[in-house]
Amino acid sequence: MLVNGELTFWKILPNTWLLGFMFWLLFVGLSYRLGKSLDPVISKADREFMQNFSLSQSSFLQSQLFIEPILTTIYYLPALTIFCMITKEWLVFPIGLMTVLAGHLAGHALNRLLFERRIFSRRNSWHAWLWIAFVFVLYVLAIVFRNQLSLGMLVPILLVQPFLIWFSYGYLKQQTNHLDYLSYCMDKSLQMDKKLFEMTKGNEYTRQGLQMQAKLNAETGKDLSHLSGMTYLNALLFDRYKKVLYKKVQNWVLTVVVILAALEGIRYFLDPFTFTEAYLLQFLPLSFMIMYVASSGKVVAQMVFVNCDISMLHYPFYREAKTIIAGFNYRFLQTCKLNLIFATSLFLAIMVLGRFAFSLLTALLLISLTALFSFHDLFIYYILQPFTNDMDVVKPLYKFLSGALYWVAYLNTRINVGSHTYILLVSLAMIAYVSIGYWILLKKAPQTFRLKA
């Protein structure tokens, strides 16, 4: 505005309005309305409302099925009217008017159909993730081909929506097993309440360890008969929770692969671009935060306390120096293995995006980060051991140090220093921290690794 003397930020590109409407259509119609309708869980607020006002469950279900989406559509009327007045494109008005109702009824009709076929939808199932991936692809396609968007693409949607509403409404009205379906929904809702309770049980320093107990199964692991002593005990612990630990790593690796594929797809469909050396150097500090989020260090520290140390620390032999150090060494190496898997996938992704520039510098940084995040949580746990027999944390210093690493990772993302020297110094500093910390642990852990009163 200062340069041109014009309010240039008010100038909106021609297809921006249409792209915005497409995003709204995808989010409200597919992501939210249709996706939510496929979930059989009734919210706790709705269940309490039925109970407090002594409402008929069947009548309440019918009102939520048919009346609620109509009221929501009425709420959208002013926004749709203003949008059409600004853009002069009144074709979007009937489409927007039917989006909520079409997505809502279609989702519920599909859910009832699956229920009739004894195919029970649930969260985190493969078809739920497949639906999320499908909607994500539609978002990406809308962005990639935004210059080719036109009102003509909305005509098929306008033609399909009335038939979708009519068929879905007719199918739902002819259903007679409302009580069976409602009982199924209530059962799923109670199961979700139980899961939420398990997720919030304990405190933030033990919660993940407690959740791992619920996921433990009695499957026979690998043969550990050749081991003995503390090595056998720790190997048995990690073998029992191997599936839970590696599933977390697997999910993060899959996330990196999906993001890499999306970026390479954008690079292919749009004008070819490359990550310059300066851009890549600025990205490397961001890997600090990425490794922090995906690290298994905190999970392992909670797992070993909740599922092993809280009981074993009552025995004198478990508090001997050689036992403590041997246990730490084994756990540290196992955590390194977990973090190294993700670090390797992140390294390969950076190499592909940067066309194998700064490979040695990137490798040094990620190895240093692997050592840091594998060491830090175990180190402060052993050197402070802040837990009581009731799993309460009695040392404020532990809480501070547990959260300090987040702020270190965050500050690395905010410091705009893209140089080889900075990356090298940060890597060496992390290696020095691990080395000095391990020396301190050898001296102090035998005196501090005790259950607190």
Structure tokens at 15: 């297809």
Asked if residue 1 has pLDDT above 50, the reply is: no
Please check whether residue 59 lies inside any domain of the structure. yes
DSSP one-letter string for 213-258 = HHH---------TT--HHHHHHHHHHHHTHHHHHHHHHHHHHHHHH
288 inside domain: yes
This model's pTM is above 0.85: no
pLDDT reported for residue 152: 83
Which DSSP category does 41 fall into? Answer: P
Q: Are residues 220 and 192 in the same domain?
A: no
Residue 198: per-residue pLDDT: 58
Tokens matching residue 131? 């639906």
Rounded Cα gap, residues 31 and 33, in angstroms: 6
Of the residues 151, 167, 196, which one is the last residue of a structural domain? 196
**Tokens describing residue 384:** 């402070």
Range of lowest pLDDT (96-105, 292-301, 388-397): 388-397
Q: How far apart are the first and last CA of the chain?
A: 65
Gap between the Cα atoms of 183 and 57, Å rounded: 10
pLDDT at 426: 83
Tally: H helices and E strands in the chain: 20, 0
3-state secondary structure of 7: coil
Say whether both 171 and 270 belong to one domain.
Answer: no
For residue 2, being part of any structural domain is answered with no
Whether residues 300 and 227 share a domain: the answer is yes
Please check whether residue 203 lies inside any domain of the structure. Answer: no
- Are residues 190 and 129 part of one domain? yes
Judgement on whether residues 284 and 358 belong to the same structural domain of the protein: yes
Q: In terms of pLDDT, which residue wins out, 296 or 311?
A: 296
How far is the C-alpha of 133 from the C-alpha of 225, rounded, in Å? 44
Q: Is the Cα dihedral 440, 446, 452, 453 positive or negative?
A: negative
Q: Specify the pLDDT at position 253.
A: 92
pLDDT for residue 7: 44
Interhelix angle 229-240/321-353, rounded to 10 degrees, is: 40
**CA distances (Å), origin 203, targets 146, 199, 206, 209, 213:** 46, 10, 6, 10, 15
Average pLDDT over residues 66-84: 88
Arithmetic mean of pLDDT, 50-73: 76
pLDDT of 72 strictly over 60? yes
Q: Does residue 164 sit in the same domain as residue 273?
A: no
Longest CA span, the chain: 80
Could you report the per-residue pLDDT of 8-24, keeping only the tens digit for each? 444 555 567 888 888 89
Q: Is residue 417 part of a domain?
A: yes
Amino acid at 291: M
* 266 and 181 part of one domain: no
Check whether 175 has a pLDDT greater than 80.
no
Task: Give the residue numbers spanning the domain of 317.
Answer: 208-448
Within 13 A of 276's CA, how many CA atoms are on the CB side?
4
Is residue 111 in a domain? yes
Tokens found for residue 413: 């993302």
Indicate the residue among 147, 168, 196 that finishes a domain: 196
Claim to verify: residue 165 and residue 240 sit in the same structural domain: no
Residues 225 and 369 in one domain: yes
3-state percent breakdown (helix, strand, coil) of the chain, nearest 5:
75, 0, 20
pLDDT the model gives residue 270: 61
Which helix (H) or strand (E) segment is 342 a member of? helix 321-353
CA dihedral 222, 228, 232, 234 (to 10 degrees): -160
Tell me the one-letter amino acid at 123: R
- 154 shares its domain with 91: yes
In a domain, 453, yes or no: no
Task: Note the pLDDT of residue 124.
Answer: 61
Radius of gyration of the chain (CA): 28
Domain count, the chain: 2
With respect to residue 258, please indicate whether it lies within any of the assigned structural domains: yes
pLDDT, tens digit, for every residue of 232-257?
Answer: 888 888 888 888 888 889 999 998 99
Note whether 331 and 255 are same-domain residues.
yes
CA 451 – CA 319 distance, rounded (Å)? 10
Is it the case that residue 292 has pLDDT exceeding 60?
yes
pLDDT tens digits for 326-376?
889 999 999 999 999 999 999 998 888 777 666 788 888 889 999 999 999
Candidates 101, 123, 113, 138; CA nearest to 188 is 123
Asked whether residue 146 falls in the same domain as residue 236, the answer is no
* pLDDT tens track for 257-284: 988 887 777 776 665 556 666 666 777 7
**pLDDT for res 340:** 94
CA distance 375 to 329: 10
Domain stops at, among 176, 196, 216: 196
* Distance separating alpha carbons of residues 323 and 144, to the nearest angstrom: 58
State which amino acid sits at residue 206. Answer: T
